[in-house]
A and B are shown apart, each in its own frame.
Chain A
Amino acid sequence: MTTIPLEAYLTLSLVLFGLGVFGMIVRRNMVTILMSMELALNAVNVLFVGADAHLSLVDGQVFALFVIALAAAEAAVGLGIIIAIFRLRRVDSTDEITDMRG
């Protein structure tokens, strides 16, 4: 069980998280932005579980469960918002909704 070192989990989580952030920045479609966010959340989960395996704890797994639950809620609300925006404006790309421009 302990043959895989913590550094491996860390590295994997890091790579996934960075890609998630990068995706959030560069993606144009709102749905794909949400998907990038799921990627980042999963990276965090990997970190939680990996640290648990390293430390022989279970608290991290509990938090991973919470993260999964919250990610589900976030996806539900976020996608609901996207659908509402689409119905109102007929747009699905972030550069077409710049009402917050100062």
Chain B
Amino acid sequence: MIQWLVFLLFSALAVVSALGVVLLANPIYVILSLLSVLVAIAGIFFVAGAELVGALQLLIYVVAVTVFYVFVLTAVPWEKALKKDSHYRVEGLLSFPLIPLLYAEMLLVFLVGVSVSPKGEFRGLMQKFGNVEVIGGILFSKYFLAFELVSLVLLIGMIGAVIIGRKEAQTYDNHTS
């Protein structure tokens, strides 16, 4: 029962904050709302029993990525965004019927899918070892290749971000200006 309560609390927080992400005008408020969403989702992970993912959510998302966004917002003058409309009105109206339709269709898929879903076999393992050990084991055995690829992608992403985001070289500046 307490689990339900906590889940509903975090869910409500996530949805309300997500509305804030989508609707608020000021980028600073938006980033705060995003932070709130991420924390709420981390809470939901904990409720679902995925401690490792929840912890990494907090560490990577809530700390690293959000800080990144804040840095970018300071680099790009966000005050300018306030002067103009922060949203496209026409596109919003156009896409508004799209969202309920999306909801309806996906709901249909999910409900059909849930009724035919199998029951798991990791329950015993999970109880025997902790969640972290199980994930670690499977991550470094079954999904080892994918893990390495992801690390490679992260490396490339880092290099790319550095190259794209750095100040242009002097010669290049002369050519473009």
CB pair B44–A14 under 8 Å, yes or no, is no
Tell me the dominant secondary structure on chain B's binding face.
helix
Q: Is A97 an interface residue (CB 8 A)?
A: no
B contact residues around A80 at 8 Å (CB): 160-165
B contact residues around A12 at 8 Å (CB): 11, 14-15, 44
Q: What band does the interface of chain B fall in when counting residues whose beta carbon is under 8 Å from A?
A: 35 or more
CB pair A62–B110 under 8 Å, yes or no, is no
Q: What band does the interface of chain A fall in when counting residues whose beta carbon is under 8 Å from B?
A: 35 or more
CB pair B30–A21 under 8 Å, yes or no, is no
B20 to A, closest residue via Cβ: A19
11 contacts between A and B (CB under 8 A): A1-B49, A14-B103, A19-B19, A22-B92, A26-B88, A58-B134, A62-B139, A70-B150, A75-B69, A80-B161, A92-B80
CB pair A28–B87 under 8 Å, yes or no, is yes
Q: State the Cβ distance, B170 to closest chain A Cβ, in Å.
A: 14
